[in-house]
């Protein structure tokens, strides 16, 4: 059963008595170790019902359950494979009455919590309430109740939130409801205050395994200790599997102190290191080991691979975001020419907003993609609104675009009016826009409704006329700015947003979209051929047709053969043959720290950002490209930018680290053309 495991993995699997810490480096087979250890525990006579394997996501639990089933068959069904929070729900459903909870308690979702906090704090601002929610969640994750939070509050703002927290907890108790954090806090309270229940749960769980242990919070660790009988049993049976070099969730309560405390709290702890990587080449692992080197080491380890040296890690210095996106697309196209599938490629970045330029470039090249860990720029509501108008501009018979445009912003045209318009258009076999001015419509609508529809139609017609003659930068910008002012879109965003700050951010997206449109109307430089080529200016009408095509492309998320765009946080646990790690600049990765942080906090922040870089590097299996910008967009301006310190820390050989993906793509195409000509001859 275990003949596929290496010696370190076998040692971890066969350590059944007493606590152990399995330090599983990236790609070292941690899930294989956990599932094989579950099988070994069952083989050794422990009933499946007495084994608990705790993960951080339902997806990970499902994968683990499936793997365990292949090893032990139906016995895997008895193993408790779940998240910390799912375990908390089970404990509270069974024993919550001891702390005043009925078995039918409710679990509030985010919207419920925000609404309740608004009421407790006397505000109507959702952004403020969400800040309160985040602060209260951080306190609860650190094990603080409202009284403790009040005692430790640093200023008046925190004292106010602590008082709101107390009222919030009173309401939860009155409503027989809990929030997500309570699913850890309350089971811990239950075990601490009721010795009989604590002993019963310790007896029920004969061995507890924890995946991604480095991501546990302070309260999760305390719950774990209570479940395995820390200080009450001679041989607490606990297996923690994790990697201190991949701890990247400090901002949501995870703490490396839990790793530091394990050897102190469990003196008989067995530490086992998994250093053989099954994912990446040694060139990639050497860069990963080098970049994580400056961080303080809790348990030093060095990843290695039997997969060979592989291609050198490449570094691309790019002029700006659009240049970076073009070079990334050229590289992906080159990989495609060599036989790679789209799904083999991923572009990873630090922040959601970085996806925008890559999305535009991929769409322009007609390359399918999906965005993970964030919202696609073209999926933002404000961008969909503008695209609907532009689709209607390019094709007035586009009924879905008509329906979105005519109601955004609102202009006194209600659902009943649109329903009557739709019925008339269907009976007359006209598009909705064509039906606006049809003679028969007047008999169905009130004069006020008809006038509102006619006004909308005239607005579209006027925009169409101006767009046909708006050629070049200045003309296109003037038309777009006048159009946004005429329809009152900025005021609409302010009305539809939770706060002025959110409205401002959404208006910023709109201005970015306008800039993108204007750039395409004015012609732009394309150096894909190695020389600067100025394209002819276009009319806004022509660009609107292109946007219409972009925004009506079928959703390709269902298609598995797609390039992945992902934040680094969302990419953890995943892997691809070819990875482009983008925007590796000071201020992005590492992310610009808070100005008011002290030296210790700043150092901790940089260490976590370095671990994030390490996670990004170790997502790559065969090739890795790291790109950085010479200039970054800041607001409406471009400012000089610096390469991240992490690039220097990778200690790459300058002779092999530079690459021009466009030149390589051209060479590959020439090579394939020559082969085709030779075959034809």
Has 189 been labeled as part of a binding site?
A: no
DSSP strand pairing (525-526 vs 533-534): antiparallel
The region of weakest confidence among 105-114, 210-219, 225-234, 405-414 is 105-114
d(CA 210, CA 679): 58
> In the Cβ-directed half-sphere of 108, how many Cα atoms lie within 13 Å?
21
Statement to judge: residues 473 and 618 lie in one domain:
no
pLDDT of res. 663: 61
Is 106 in contact with 204 (CB distance < 8 Å)?
A: no
Is 31 known to sit in a ligand binding site? yes
Distance CA 597, CA 400 (A): 49
Question: Where residue 561 sits, what CATH number does that domain have?
Answer: 3.40.50.300
Q: 334-392: per-residue pLDDT in tens?
A: 999 899 999 999 999 998 889 888 998 998 888 999 888 666 677 778 888 888 888 78
Is there a binding annotation on residue 30?
yes
250 among the known binding-site residues?
A: no
Note whether residue 293 is domain-resident: no
Q: Taking the C-alpha atoms of 575, 591, 162 and 123 in order, what is their torsion angle to the nearest 10 degrees?
A: -100
Any domain includes 180 = no
Residue range 169-191, pLDDT digits in tens: 988 887 788 888 999 999 999 99
- From 274, 291, 313, the end of a domain falls on 274
| pLDDT at site 596 | 55
Give me the residue label for tokens 């006579």.
45
Token digits for 150?
């009040």
pLDDT for res 594 = 54
Tell me if 599 is assigned to some domain. yes
Q: With respect to residue 242, please indicate whether it lies within any of the assigned structural domains.
A: yes
pLDDT over threshold 50, residue 546? yes
Confidence tier at 437 by pLDDT (50, 70, 90): confident
Whether residue 554 has pLDDT greater than 60: no
* Model pLDDT, residue 558: 40
- CA dihedral (229, 69, 620, 56) positive or negative: negative
**Omega prior to 590 cis, within 30 of 0:** yes
Of 106 and 464, more confident = 464
pLDDT digits (tens, 9 = 90+) for 567-617: 999 898 889 999 999 999 999 999 876 555 677 778 888 999 999 999 999
Please report, for the domain that includes residue 471, its CATH number. 1.10.486.10
The reply to whether 191 and 170 lie within a common domain is: no
Residues 489 and 454 in one domain: yes
Residues 234, 167 share a domain: no
ω into residue 447 within 30 of 0, thus cis?
no
Question: In this structure, are 432 and 521 located in the same domain?
Answer: yes
Q: Is residue 223 part of a domain?
A: yes
* 362, 396: one domain: no
Nearest to 468 by CA among 512, 521, 520: 521
Residues 211 and 157 grouped into a single domain: no
Looking at 233, 255, 274, the residue that finishes a domain is: 274
- Say whether both 389 and 509 belong to one domain: yes
Shared domain check, 637 and 574: yes
Angle at 86 between CA 84 and CA 88, to 5 degrees: 70
- Output 440 or 374, whichever has higher pLDDT: 440
- Pseudo-torsion of CA 142, 146, 151, 155, nearest 10°? 90
* pLDDT at residue 396, rounded to an integer: 78
**Mean pLDDT in residue range 487-511:** 83
**Euclidean distance between CA atoms 393 and 545, whole angstroms:** 8
Are both 454 and 332 inside the same structural domain? no
The answer to whether residue 221 sits within a structural domain is yes
350 lies in the same domain as 460: no
Residue 364 marked as a ligand binder:
no
Angle between helices 399-406 and 447-469 (to 10 degrees): 110
- What is the average per-residue pLDDT within 112-133? 87
Average pLDDT over every residue of 277-289: 94
Q: What is the pLDDT of residues 89-102, one digit of tens each?
A: 889 989 999 998 88
In a shared domain, residues 72 and 218: yes
User: Domain total for the chain?
Assistant: 4
Domain harbouring 160, CATH code: 1.10.10.160
For the chain, what is the mean pLDDT? Answer: 84
CB 19 within 8 A of CB 264: no
9 — pLDDT class (breaks 50, 70, 90)? very high
Q: What is the pLDDT of residues 292-341, one digit of tens each?
A: 999 988 888 899 999 999 999 999 999 999 999 999 999 999 999 899 99
Domain boundary among 175, 194, 221: 175
- Write the CA distances from 503 to 114, 382, 392, integer angstroms: 19, 10, 25
Question: For residue 243, how many C-alpha atoms fall within 13 Å in the half-sphere facing its CB?
Answer: 26
The more confident residue out of 235 and 264 is: 264
Q: Any idea which residues carry the catalytic annotation?
A: 30-31, 211-212, 246, 619
Res 427: pLDDT: 84
SS3 283: helix
Domain region containing 255: 7-92+185-274
Share of the chain above pLDDT 70, in %: 90
Mean pLDDT on 448-454: 89
Answer whether 8's CB lies under 8 Å from 273's CB: yes
Alpha helices by DSSP H, 438-539? 447-469, 473-487, 489-496, 500-521
What CA–CA distance (Å, rounded) separates 666 from 330? 9
Average pLDDT over residues 650-664: 71
Query: Which range among 200-209, 530-539, 668-677 has the greatest average pLDDT?
Result: 200-209
d(CA 543, CA 522): 10
Confidence of residue 556 (pLDDT cuts 50, 70, 90): very low
Could you tell me if residue 215 is inside a domain?
A: yes
Token pair for 584 = 């590796």
The better pLDDT of the pair 546, 183 is held by 183
SS3 313: coil
Q: Does residue 279 fall inside a structural domain?
A: no
The tens digit of pLDDT for each residue in 244-279 reads 888 888 767 778 888 889 999 999 999 999 999 999
Please compute the mean of the pLDDT values over residues 527-540 and round it to a whole number: 51
* pTM of the complete model beyond 0.85: no
């Amino acid at each position: 059963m275990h003949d596929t495991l290496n010696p370190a993995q076998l040692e971890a699997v066969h350590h059944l008595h007493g606590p152990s810490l399995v330090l599983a480096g990236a790609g070292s087979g941690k899930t294989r170790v956990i599932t094989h250890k579950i099988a070994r525990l069952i083989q050794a006579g422990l009933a499946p019902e007495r084994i608990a394997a705790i993960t951080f996501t339902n997806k990970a639990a499902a994968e683990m359950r499936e793997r365990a089933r292949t090893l032990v068959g139906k016995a895997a069904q008895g193993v408790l494979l779940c998240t910390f929070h799912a375990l908390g729900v089970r404990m509270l459903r069974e024993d919550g009455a001891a702390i005043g909870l009925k078995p039918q308690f409710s679990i509030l979702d985010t919207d419920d919590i925000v609404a309740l906090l608004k009421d407790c704090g006397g505000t109507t601002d959702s952004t403020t309430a969400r800040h309160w929610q985040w602060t209260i969640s951080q306190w609860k994750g650190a094990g603080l109740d409202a009284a403790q939070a009040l005692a430790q509050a640093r200023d008046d703002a925190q004292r106010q939130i602590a008082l709101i927290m107390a009222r919030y907890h009173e309401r939860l108790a009155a409503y027989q409801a809990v929030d997500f954090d309570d699913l850890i806090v309350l089971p811990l309270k239950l075990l601490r205050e009721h010795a009989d229940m604590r002993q019963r749960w310790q007896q029920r769980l004969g061995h507890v395994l924890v995946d991604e242990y480095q991501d546990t919070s302070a309260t999760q660790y305390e719950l774990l200790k209570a479940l395995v009988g820390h200080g009450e049993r001679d041989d607490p049976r606990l297996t923690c599997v994790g990697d201190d070099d991949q701890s990247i969730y400090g901002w949501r309560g995870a703490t490396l102190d839990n790793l530091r405390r394990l050897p102190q709290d469990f003196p008989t702890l067995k530490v086992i290191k998994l250093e053989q990587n099954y994912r990446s080449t040694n060139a990639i692992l050497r860069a990963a080991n080098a970049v994580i080197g400056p961080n303080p080491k809790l348990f030093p380890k060095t990843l290695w691979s039997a997969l060979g040296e592989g291609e050198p890690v490449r570094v691309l210095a790019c002029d700006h975001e659009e240049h970076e996106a073009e070079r990334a697309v050229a590289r992906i196209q080159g990989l495609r020419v060599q036989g790679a599938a789209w799904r083999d490629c991923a572009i990873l970045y630090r922040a959601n907003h970085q996806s925008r330029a890559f999305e535009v470039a991929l769409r322009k090249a007609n390359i399918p993609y999906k965005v993970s860990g964030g919202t696609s720029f073209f999926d933002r509501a404000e961008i969909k609104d503008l695209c609907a108008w532009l689709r209607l501009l390019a094709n007035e018979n586009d009924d879905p675009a008509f329906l979105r445009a005519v109601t955004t912003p609102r202009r006194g045209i209600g659902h009943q009016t649109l329903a009557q318009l739709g019925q008339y258009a269907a009976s007359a076999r006209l598009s909705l826009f064509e039906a606006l001015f049809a003679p028969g419509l007047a008999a169905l609508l009130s004069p006020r409704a008809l006038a509102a529809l006619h006004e909308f139609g005239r607005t579209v017609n006027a925009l169409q006329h101006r767009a046909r003659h708006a050629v070049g930068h200045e003309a296109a910008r003037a038309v777009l700015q006048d159009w946004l002012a005429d329809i009152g879109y900025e005021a609409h965003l302010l009305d539809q947003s939770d706060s002025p700050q959110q409205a401002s951010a959404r208006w910023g997206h709109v201005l970015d979209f306008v800039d993108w449109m204007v750039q395409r109307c004015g012609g732009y430089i394309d150096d894909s051929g190695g020389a600067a080529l100025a394209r002819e200016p276009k009319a806004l009408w022509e660009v609107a047709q292109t946007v219409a095509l972009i925004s009506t492309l079928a959703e390709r998320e269902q298609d598995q053969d797609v390039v992945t765009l992902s934040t680094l946080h969302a990419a953890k646990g995943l892997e691809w043959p070819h990875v482009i790690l983008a925007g590796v600049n000071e201020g992005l990765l590492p992310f610009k720290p808070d100005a008011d942080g002290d030296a210790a906090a700043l150092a901790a922040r940089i260490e976590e950002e370095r671990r994030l870089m390490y996670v990004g590097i170790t997502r790559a299996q065969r090739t890795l490209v790291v790109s950085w910008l010479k200039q970054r967009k800041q607001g409406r301006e471009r400012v000089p930018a610096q390469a991240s310190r992490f690039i220097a820390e990778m200690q790459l050989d300058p002779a092999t680290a530079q690459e021009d993906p466009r030149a390589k793509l051209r060479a590959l195409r020439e090579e394939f053309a020559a082969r085709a000509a030779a075959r034809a001859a």
